[in-house]
Structure 1
Amino acid sequence: MAIPDLTALEKSIIQQSINERWRKGGIVAEEVEVELRLFKGDREVTACPALYWEHDGCTFLVAKTGENRYRSQFFYSAKEQFSTGIEEYTDLGDCVLFLLRLQADHESERKKNFPTA
């Protein structure tokens, strides 16, 4: 099954959310392709278009998994990966917003628990 590419509007929604979160700017999401198992029982992976960006040691990913279907996650390393807990979104704005909010909350907790010297 071929997943449709991200549209200009979808890319714009993601980039606008990034710009609102980090007002200083300079963070530009890059187009990538990721391989995902679309359903729990899948043995094969499916190539999915995605946007990827990094900020302050954290990597973010928003993937399109079908027409009006999206997944997101952020991670610091292979052992430290997080999602919003929602398997798939049908609203891209919600997908990105919840991802950024969860990561901001997580980052706040990390700084409380592991303050830098």
Structure 2
Amino acid sequence: MPLYWTIDSKERLFTGVGEGEVTLADAMSLLEALAGAKALSYRKLFDGRAVQSTMTGEELLAICAKIRAYHEEGPVGALALVGTAEQTVRFSRLLGALAAADRPIKLFNSLRSARAWLALQRK
């Protein structure tokens, strides 16, 4: 699987990274792990700079629907996303779904600045 993550319950922090081609099944597995660990309210850092998506527009919409359904379950934590400018354009719908939640969200082009911002988001 090209997605890797750590869920730190003590720090209430989810840290994820992607490498290579990511499928719908990969993305859904990540979301289900996050929900299954009851970590939706945790702060989240995801570095997707090395990700290439093989997903269709319909598959991206399915991920958006899943994310929005999780937003209905309760509070979600701050989100720092690290990506390239090209990825921001490609995944604009997905980013819109992520931004729909009542939480801080910010895009970064460097992991260092994303970590610094996320550290300020502790609740």
TM-score norm. by structure 1 comes to: 0.29
The higher-RCO structure (CA 8 Å, 6+ apart) is: 2
The structure richer in helix per residue is 2
Rg comparison, structure with higher value: 1
The structure richer in strand per residue is 1
TM-score norm. by structure 2 comes to: 0.28
